[in-house]
Amino acid sequence: MKFWFLLIVSHFSYSQIVFRIENKNPEIRFESFVISGVEMHKNNLNKSIGEIFNADGKKVPVVLEKPIPEAISKYYTKYNGVAEHKKKILIKIKHLELNEKRNTNAIEGKILYEMEAWHISENDTSRLCRATNKGQYSRNLGSKNIDNVQNQVKTALDGGLIYLVNYVKNYGSQLEVFATDSEVKILPFFSKNSADTVYYQQRKVSWNDFRGPIRDKSGYGAAIFTSFGYDSKIYIENHKIIVEIRPSVFTDKNMSWAKPEIKNEKGLRHEQLHFDISYLNALLFLQKIKTLKADTRDDLISMIKYEYLEFYRNTHNMQEKYDTESDHSLNAIQQKQWELKVSNQIKAIDLGMIFN
C-alpha cells in the first residue's frame, strides 16, 4: 500500500515547524459515506507529530496548525458531500509519527501512519478497515527540502483516505454497513432417509414408526413426537442482507409410541394429522418470515427466532386443542372436521410465494 503526502508549511522557526493541511487531492472522491470526525488514540495525543531538522540543522518539533484530530478532521471533511442518507465514518488515528536522523551526507526520515475507519450509527459502532503505512526518505538541509517533507505527510493522510475509498468500492457490496435491503430466502424442505426420523416430505407415518417405549400408565393409546425447525445461513451480497432458511418437518420414531390395541386405521389417521398440523404451522412460519425486513443481520436473525418461537407455541396449542376437541379420535365428527380444516388451510397457502 502506498500513501501520498502533501502538507503546506505555515512557517518554521527554531522552536517548531508548523504544517497546514489544506489542498484537496482531486483523485479522492466518495459518495456513499461522509467523514463524521477524527479521533486520536489515547497513547498518541502529543501535539507534535515528530521532529525534523530545520534549515539551520537543529532538530525541532513538527506540529499541525490545530490539535492533530481537529486538523485532520478539518481536512478530511472537505471531501464530504451532502450528508443526507449517507453512512457516517469515524477515522481513528492509531499512530502518526515523523522522525529524522542525520548522517554524514544526508538526512534520513521515516513516517509511520496507522488509521482505522469505523462506521457510526445510532445503535452500533463497527470497524470497517485498518490501514498502515511506513515511508522512508532522504533529503538535504534547506527550506525547500522541508517543503518536500510536508508533501510526504499530506500524502500519507491522503493515502489513508484513498485506502478507505477503495475498500468501500471493492467490498462495500458485501458489508452490512452499506446494505440497502434484506431478504429471507426459503430453501426446499430438508429431507433424507433416516433410521430414526421421518421427514414430512417423504411419506405419511405408519405404525412401524412408533418405536418408543410404551407408557403403560398413560391414559392415551399413542403419542407422536412431531415438530418443525430450520437451519439458517446469513451473508451479504450486492448490498443486500440475505438469510437462507432450510426448514424441516419431522417425527422422531424413538420418541413416538403406541399401544397395540389402538393400532388401527382410525388411530393412525389421528396421529398423521398431528404431523399435518406441524407441517401447516411450518408453512405459516415460513410465510411470515418471508416478508421480514431489517437493517442488520442481528436484527433479521432475531426477528426470525422470535417468529419461530411464536409459531412453535402456536403449534403446541393447536395440537392440544385438536386432541381435546377430537377426544383423541374418539369423537369422529370433530376428527373429520379437523382433518378438513387442516387440509383446507394447507391448500390455501401459496407455496410459490414462499419458495421462489
The model's pLDDT over 131-149, given as tens digits with 9 standing for 90+, comes to: 998 888 888 876 677 888 8
For residues 68 and 21, the answer to whether their CB atoms sit within 8 Å is: no
100 residue type, one letter: E
pLDDT-derived band at 21, boundaries 50, 70, 90:
confident
Q: Please state, in angstroms and rounded to a whole number, the distance separating the CA atoms of residues 56 and 13.
A: 9
Average confidence (pLDDT) over 330-347: 97
- pLDDT score for 10: 41
For residues 285 and 228, the answer to whether their CB atoms sit within 8 Å is: yes
Cell numbers placing 267: 388411530
For residue 3, pLDDT beyond 70? no
Average confidence (pLDDT) over 25-40: 92
Tens digits of residue pLDDT in 154-180: 999 999 999 999 999 999 999 999 999
Q: At what angle do helices 265-289 and 297-326 cross, to 10 degrees?
A: 150
Q: Which domains does the chain have, with CATH numbers?
A: 8-173 (3.40.50), 179-354 (no CATH)
pLDDT-derived band at 45, boundaries 50, 70, 90:
low
For residue 20, pLDDT beyond 90? no
Average confidence (pLDDT) over 104-131: 90
Provide the percentage of residues in the chain whose pLDDT is more than 90.
72
- pLDDT score for 8: 38
Of the two residues 122 and 39, the one the predictor is more confident about is: 39
- pLDDT score for 234: 97
For residues 22 and 76, the answer to whether their CB atoms sit within 8 Å is: no
Name the strand (E) or helix (H) holding 100: strand 87-102
For residue 346, pLDDT beyond 90? yes
Provide the percentage of residues in the chain whose pLDDT is more than 70.
94
Which residues are paired to 52 by β-bridges?
A: 60
- pLDDT score for 2: 39
- pLDDT score for 307: 98
Of the two residues 294 and 144, the one the predictor is more confident about is: 294
- pLDDT score for 169: 94
Name the strand (E) or helix (H) holding 212: none
128 residue type, one letter: L
Tally of CB atoms within 10 A around 142: 12
For residue 303, pLDDT beyond 90? yes
Pick from 83, 92, 135, 98: nearest CA to 117: 92
For residues 88 and 126, the answer to whether their CB atoms sit within 8 Å is: no
Average confidence (pLDDT) over 180-200: 96
Tens digits of residue pLDDT in 217-233: 877 889 999 999 999 99
